[in-house]
């Protein structure tokens, strides 16, 4: 991880690692910012969070000793592996609203969900990978409207493995009108088209870098961190097992083929994950995936009620694997069987056309790097991954936010899709996923 600031999407990222954390803390204290900058906290947070917000404020050009920092707690359902807090920085008439993402304050939860490893991965993306990707496009004169620049601006990252302190300070895109879709509703065509276009461009950049800058891209072949987290967590193991059993229980007497295939998936799901999450199995077509491309990590910008822009957030599961994982994960988890019947082939075409267009703009040959026939082969080879992840995630998607279980306690394996309404949504969504996966030859 670089100790010097690196150029991100429009702003410098102050990247703080174990080696320079203490030195920077000392420098901050010497300026008097820690003592003189006024701060009000409606939530009690560790000192490293406050210090990180102060450094981010300075990066944004606020005057030391003159600005005011206020924190607001995030909701209970921000995520299993982290917490989100809103940070408001004011000085005179100027105000900036940021989000501060930190690991769980509970040490037990940090360990249970392998949070520090996941934070380290996301920080690598914000401080190293994404800046290089943006620079590569700009060197090729790719305008933002035709390339991939679809992430929030990041102002500071902190990672200290020894103290288990980490923070990511980024812009609050809600101030620009971005918002998350309603997770309990399947996405429609306009929303899905934006996602497929963005994924095509993101994966196309991997292929172009692998083609034109192989030494640089070698550093971006990031290994999977999901499977080690699953194996390390008794709770995640239990949640996967319960998810697969619940999915199988939806199948009726007329679903004999689907039941047989799902039972085989249940019995072999760890080995299946090992294959799908091994990038070498997808060569020469493997790309750097977002890794967690579902509705909770997509922010849409709108004009006249229609989505026109998309930002991808939460890069903690970014990994070098088959492009099929990102594509099918979204299409299976975030759409329903009616949408897939009408638009699945169209969405695959949108994805590949987007990938092809950016590769050509960057000066690489798409037919050599990922022809459409090769993409179809990737979908068939790695489609089981989407079914497994859907079994895990669809219960969450079908749970109304007001009914979300407490992430800090209780049996999470049984806490989602608990109400009769959520159960009905779950049965319709998950049953359709299983039947479609068999129909497409993925299961």
Q: What is the pLDDT of residues 169-201, one digit of tens each?
A: 999 999 999 999 888 899 999 999 999 999 999
Q: How do strand 6-7 and strand 287-289 relate by DSSP bridges? A: unpaired
Q: Is the dihedral of CA 201, 207, 212, 217 positive or negative?
A: positive
Cβ 398 vs Cβ 352: under 8 Å = no
- Report the C-alpha gap between 185 and 58 in whole angstroms: 41
pTM attached to this predicted model: 0.89
What mean pLDDT do residues 309-332 have? Answer: 98
Does the pLDDT value for residue 7 go beyond 90? no
Distances (CA, A) of 321 to 224, 229, 347, 407: 8, 17, 20, 29
Q: 3-class DSSP state for residue 374?
A: helix
When pLDDT is cut at 50, 70 and 90, the band that residue 405 belongs to is: low
**Of the given ranges (68-77, 100-109, 160-169), which has the lowest mean pLDDT?**
68-77
Take residue 52 and report the two structure tokens written for it.
């990180």
**Which stretch of 54-68, 71-85, 123-137, 428-442 has the lowest confidence by average pLDDT?**
71-85
pLDDT band at 31; cut points 50, 70, 90? very low
Q: Select the more confidently predicted residue: 406 or 204.
A: 204
Residue 109 scores a pLDDT above 80:
yes
Q: Is cis: bond before 394, omega within 30 of 0?
A: no
CA atoms of 225 and 297, how far apart (whole Å)? 18
Q: Give bridge partners of residue 41 from the DSSP assignment.
A: 71
* pLDDT value of residue 57: 98
Residue matched to tokens 């879709």: 181
pLDDT digits (tens, 9 = 90+) for 142-151: 999 999 999 9
For the sheet containing 12-16, what is the strand order? 6-7, 12-16, 154-160, 165-171, 94-102, 83-91, 68-72, 38-41
Read off the pLDDT band of 42 (50, 70, 90): low
Domain span(s) for CATH 3.30.200 in the chain? 44-144+152-171
Phi then psi dihedrals of residue 307, to 5 deg: -70, 130
CATH 3.90.1200 fits domain 173-440: yes
Instruction: Return the minimum-mean-pLDDT range out of 5-9, 68-72, 116-120, 343-347.
Output: 5-9
pLDDT confidence bin for 166, thresholds 50/70/90: very high
Report pLDDT for 415.
Answer: 54
Among 369, 252, 277, residue whose Cα is nearest residue 329: 277
Q: How far apart are CA 312 and CA 123, in angstroms?
A: 15
What average pLDDT does the structure give for the chain? 88
Q: What percent of the chain has pLDDT over 70?
A: 85
Helix (H) or strand (E) holding 166: strand 165-171
Do the Cβ atoms of 181 and 191 come closer than 8 Å? yes
What is the pairing mode between strands 165-171 and 94-102? antiparallel
Rounded CA-CA distance 443/434 in Å is 8
pLDDT value of position 2: 33
- Cβ contact 419:369 at 8 Å: no
Answer yes or no: CATH 3.40.50 is held by domain 44-144+152-171. no
Looking from the CA of 136 toward its CB, the CA atoms found within 13 Å total: 28
Most confident of 16-25, 35-44, 167-176, 407-416: 167-176
d(CA 374, CA 367): 9
Pairing of strands 12-16, 38-41: unpaired
Q: 29-36: list long-range contacts, CB under 8 Å, 24+ apart.
A: 31/64, 31/65, 32/64, 32/65, 33/58, 33/64, 33/65, 36/64, 36/65
Angstrom distances, CA of residue 2 to CA of 123, 128, 134, 219, 311: 11, 8, 17, 13, 25
For residue range 322-377, what is the model confidence (pLDDT) as tens digits? 999 999 999 999 999 999 999 999 999 999 999 999 999 999 999 999 999 999 99
Give tens-digit pLDDT for 118-142. Answer: 999 999 999 999 999 999 999 999 9
Tell me, what DSSP letter sits at residue 323? H
Mean pLDDT of 21-42: 38
Residue of higher predicted confidence among 23 and 99: 99
| pLDDT number for residue 380 | 98
What residue spans in the chain does CATH classification 3.90.1200 cover?
173-440
């Amino acid at each position: 991880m670089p100790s010097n600031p690196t150029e991100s999407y429009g702003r410098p990222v102050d990247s703080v690692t174990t080696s320079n954390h203490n030195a920077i803390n000392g420098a901050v204290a010497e300026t008097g910012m820690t003592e003189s900058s006024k701060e009000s906290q409606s939530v009690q947070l560790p000192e490293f969070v406050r210090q990180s917000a102060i450094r981010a404020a300075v990066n944004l050009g606020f005057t030391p000793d003159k600005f005011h920092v206020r924190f607001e707690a995030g909701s209970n359902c921000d995520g299993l592996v982290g917490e989100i807090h809103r940070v408001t920085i004011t000085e005179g008439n100027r105000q900036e609203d940021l989000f501060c993402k930190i690991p769980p304050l509970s040490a037990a939860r940090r360990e249970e969900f392998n949070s520090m490893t996941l934070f380290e991965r996301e920080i690598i993306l914000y401080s190293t990978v994404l800046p290089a990707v943006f620079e590569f496009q700009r060197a090729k004169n790719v305008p933002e409207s035709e390339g991939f620049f679809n992430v929030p601006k990041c102002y500071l990252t902190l990672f200290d493995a020894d103290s288990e302190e980490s923070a990511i300070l980024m812009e609050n895109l809600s101030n620009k009108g971005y918002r998350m879709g309603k997770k309990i509703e399947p996405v429609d065509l306009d929303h899905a088209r934006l996602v497929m276009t963005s994924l095509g461009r993101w994966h196309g950049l991997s292929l172009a870098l692998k083609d034109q800058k192989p030494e640089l891209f070698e550093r971006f072949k990031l290994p999977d961190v999901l499977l080690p987290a699953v194996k390390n967590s008794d709770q995640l193991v239990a949640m996967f097992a319960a998810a697969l059993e619940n999915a199988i229980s939806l199948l009726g007497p007329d679903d004999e083929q689907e039941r047989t295939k799902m039972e085989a998936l249940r019995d072999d799901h760890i080995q299946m994950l090992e294959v799908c999450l091994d990038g070498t199995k997808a060569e020469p077509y493997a790309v750097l995936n977002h890794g967690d491309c579902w509705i909770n990590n997509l922010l849409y910008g709108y004009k006249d009620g229609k989505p026109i822009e998309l930002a991808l957030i939460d890069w903690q599961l970014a990994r070098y694997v088959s492009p099929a994982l990102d594509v099918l994960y979204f299409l299976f988890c975030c759409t329903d069987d009616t949408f897939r019947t009408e638009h699945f082939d169209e969405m695959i075409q949108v994805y590949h056309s987007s990938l092809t267009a950016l590769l050509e703009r960057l000066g690489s040959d798409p037919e050599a790097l990922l022809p459409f026939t090769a993409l179809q082969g990737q979908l068939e080879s790695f489609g089981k991954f989407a079914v497994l992840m859907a079994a895990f995630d669809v219960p969450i998607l079908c749970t109304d936010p007001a009914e979300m279980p407490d992430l800090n306690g209780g049996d999470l394996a049984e806490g989602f899709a608990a109400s009769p309404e959520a159960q009905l949504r779950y049965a319709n969504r998950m049953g359709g996923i299983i039947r479609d996966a068999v129909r497409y030859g993925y299961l």
